């Protein structure tokens, strides 16, 4: 039950939802591009990405001197279903 409480707390932030929506459409982006596209300060974008990463919503990998993020390939199916509904809005 606590895992669901944490999941919904994580999704209770509009910027994190916007990041997930963007990554669902763009597949993979560096932090700077996410920050620019959503008009969020880069430090705040990084903080959101760290939280999403710890919860296994996203996965980052170093490439060309930057960290590129994508939706986590092993995202739980229940969470995928919730995200699909959020993305449609």
**41: DSSP letter:** -
pLDDT of residue 33: 96
Domains of the chain: 2-88 (1.10.10.10)
Tokens 């995928």 appear where? 80
Nearest to 7 by CA among 70, 81, 69: 81
CA dist., res. 17 & res. 14, Å (int): 5
Q: Which residues of the chain have pLDDT under 70?
A: 76, 78, 86-89
Nearest to 74 by CA among 56, 86, 87, 54: 56
pLDDT digit string (tens) for 68-89? 999 988 876 767 777 777 666 6
């Amino acid at each position: 039950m606590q895992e669901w409480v944490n999941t919904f707390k994580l999704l209770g932030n509009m910027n994190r939802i916007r990041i997930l929506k963007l990554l669902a459409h763009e597949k993979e982006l560096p932090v700077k591009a996410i920050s620019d596209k959503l008009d969020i300060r880069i430090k705040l974008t990084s903080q959101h990405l760290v939280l999403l990463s710890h919860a296994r919503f996203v996965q980052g990998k170093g490439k060309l001197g930057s960290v590129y993020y994508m939706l986590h390939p092993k995202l739980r199916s229940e969470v995928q279903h919730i995200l699909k509904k959020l993305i449609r809005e």
